[in-house]
Amino acid sequence: MLTIIVTGLLFLMFGKPLLQSLDVFLIQPLTNDNGLAELGVKAAPLILIGVGIALASRANIWNIGAEGQYIVGAICGGGLALAMPNTPALVLYPMMLVAGVLGGMAYGGIVALLRVQFNANEILTSLMLNYVAQLLLIYLVSGPWRDPKGFGFPQTAIFSPNAAAPVLVEGTRLHLGVVFALVVAVIGWLVLSHTILGFQLRVQGSAPRAARFAGFSDKKLVWLAMLVSGGLAGLAGLFEVSGPIGQLTTTISPGYGYTAIIVAFLGRLHPLGVVLAGLLLALSYLGGESAQIELALPSAVTGIFQGVLLFFLLACDALILYRIRGADVGRFAGLKARFVSPKVAPL
C-alpha cells in the first residue's frame, strides 16, 4: 500500500497524471488474456527461484547467487540445445531440463563447498559468483558459441524447435515452466511443513544449537539448501532461454535472481506466499514495460518499484516486531528496549 503511494508520487514527480499512471502500471497489464499469459511467463522464473531462496533462507542460509545459478543453468541447457539441435524433442528437452538443473546445482554447490570446507560466508561468495557467471555468458555468446549468421551480434543461434519449451496455450508464450513453478511451490510447501527435512531447515534457522542438539547436521543442510536453490534457479534459467527468449544472449535475465530475493521475503519465506509475491513482482515488470511505452517513463521504474516494496516490507517488519522509544530516554534506550521488546529476530 505504502509502495503504491510512493510510486504514485514518483509518477507525479515525472509530471504524469497519478491515476492514469497507476492504471497503466498495475492494472492494464492484466486486462487481456495475453497480459495474463505474460504475467505467468514473468512470474514462473521468479517463483521457481523464490521457492529455492525461501527454503534456504528458512535455514539462515542466504543465497544471493541465484542470478549466477540461473545463468549457468541457462548455459548448460542452452549449450545442449545448440550441440544437438536435431535430437527429437522428447529426448532433447528432458535432457536440457536435467542439464539446467545440474548446472545450477553445480554452481550453487561451489558456494556450499566454500562454506562447509573453509567457512566462507555464502552471501559474499554467491554474490561474487554472479559476476563470474555473467562474464562467462558474455564470453560464450560473443566467442565460441556466437551465431555465425548473426551479423556479429553477441548471441547464439536460435534454438531448434526441438529445444523449445512446450507452449501451454496457443498464441501466447505461456510455457511448461509455469506448471513447474506451481508444482515446485506446492512441493516446497509440503517439504517445509510436513517433512523432517523441512523441520530441520526451520530449526536450523531459528535455533542452530537446538538443531545440533537434535542431531541435524548443519553441513548437510548447507549443501542441501544450496543445491536445491541452485537447481531451481538453473531450471528457471533453462525455461527462460528455451521459452520466451529462444537463444542465449548477453541479457537473458532482467535481474530475476535478485528480484526473487524480494519475492521470497515478500512471500514470508512461505512457498505458497512466494507464488503470490512472484505474481506481484512479475506485474511490476509488465507495468514497467507498459509505463515505458505509454508514459515514456524510464525502465528503472520497475527497479524503483521493487526496491521501494522491499524497503517498506522490511521497515514495517521492524516496526511491527520492535517498539520505538522516544528520544527522551537518551542513551539508555537500548538498555531499556531489552526489557520491553520481545526477543524476536527480524524475519
Partner 1 sequence: MPLSAAPDLTDTPLLQLSGIVKQYPGTLANDHVDLTIAPGEIHALLGENGAGKSTLVKIIYGVVKPNAGDIFWRGEKIEIASPNAARALGIGMVFQHFSLFEGLTVAENLALGMNEQRTRKQLRDEIAAIGARYGLQLDPSHNLADLSLGERQRIEIVRCLMQSPKLLIMDEPTSVLTPQEVDKLFETLRKLAAQGCSVLYISHKLNEIRALCEKATVMRHGRVVAHCDPRQETTTRLAEMMIGEMLTAPRPRLGLSPTALPCLEIDRLTIASDRKFGVDLKGVSFAVAKGQILGIAGVAGNGQTELMDALSGEVPSGKPSAVMIEGIEAGHMAPAERRALGACFVPEERNGHAAVPGMTLSDNALLSGYVRKALSKLGFINRPKTTNFAAEVIKRFDVRTTGPMSEARSLSGGNLQKFVVGREVLQDPKLLVVSQPTWGVDAGAAAAIHDALVQLAEADTAIVVISQDLDEIFSLCDSIAVIAGGVLSPVTRIADTTISDVGLLMGAAGGATETDASYRRNDAA
- Cα gap 138→157, rounded to integer Å: 14
Check residue 32 and report its DSSP letter: S
Cα-based angle 223, 225, 228 (whole degrees, multiple of 5): 100
Report the residue number, 78 or 205, with the smaller CB distance to partner 1: 205
- Can you tell me which of 217, 311, 317, 322 binds partner 1, judged by CB under 8 A? 217
Q: Which of 325, 319, 307, 277 is nearest to 46 (CA)?
A: 277
- Can you tell me which of 207, 314, 315, 319 binds partner 1, judged by CB under 8 A? 207
Binding region for partner 1 (CB under 8 A) out of 72-80, 163-171, 190-198, 235-243:
190-198
- Cα gap 162→81, rounded to integer Å: 8
Q: Answer yes or no whether residue 341 interacts with partner 1 by CB under 8 A.
A: no
- Cα gap 281→79, rounded to integer Å: 29
Q: Answer yes or no whether residue 149 interacts with partner 1 by CB under 8 A.
A: no
Q: Answer yes or no whether residue 31 interacts with partner 1 by CB under 8 A.
A: no
Q: Answer yes or no whether residue 215 interacts with partner 1 by CB under 8 A.
A: yes
Rounded to a whole number of angstroms, the minimum distance from the CB of residue 151 to partner 1 is 53
Size of the site for partner 1 (CB under 8 A): 26
Rounded to a whole number of angstroms, the minimum distance from the CB of residue 194 to partner 1 is 6
- Can you tell me which of 148, 152, 170, 338 binds partner 1, judged by CB under 8 A? 338
Q: Answer yes or no whether residue 139 interacts with partner 1 by CB under 8 A.
A: no
Q: Answer yes or no whether residue 14 interacts with partner 1 by CB under 8 A.
A: no
- Cα gap 336→82, rounded to integer Å: 64
Rounded to a whole number of angstroms, the minimum distance from the CB of residue 226 to partner 1 is 20
- Asked if residues 34 and 172 have their Cβ atoms less than 8 Å apart, the reply is yes
Check residue 244 and report its DSSP letter: I
- Cα gap 250→143, rounded to integer Å: 12
Report the residue number, 210 or 315, with the smaller CB distance to partner 1: 210
- Asked if residues 236 and 48 have their Cβ atoms less than 8 Å apart, the reply is yes
Count Cβ atoms below 10 Å from residue 189 Cβ, excluding itself. Answer: 19
Report the residue number, 42 or 270, with the smaller CB distance to partner 1: 270
Cell of 63: 543465497
Rounded to a whole number of angstroms, the minimum distance from the CB of residue 271 to partner 1 is 16
Q: Answer yes or no whether residue 314 interacts with partner 1 by CB under 8 A.
A: no
Rounded to a whole number of angstroms, the minimum distance from the CB of residue 189 to partner 1 is 13
- Cα gap 11→299, rounded to integer Å: 13
- Cα gap 61→290, rounded to integer Å: 36
Report the residue number, 212 or 314, with the smaller CB distance to partner 1: 212
Report the residue number, 171 or 326, with the smaller CB distance to partner 1: 326
Q: Answer yes or no whether residue 329 interacts with partner 1 by CB under 8 A.
A: yes
Q: Which of 64, 32, 46, 100 is nearest to 254 (CA)?
A: 46
- Can you tell me which of 94, 139, 187, 194 binds partner 1, judged by CB under 8 A? 194
Kindly list the residues in this chain that would bind partner 1 in the complex (CB under 8 A).
Answer: 194-197, 199, 202-203, 206-207, 209-210, 212-215, 217, 329, 332, 334-336, 338-340, 343-344
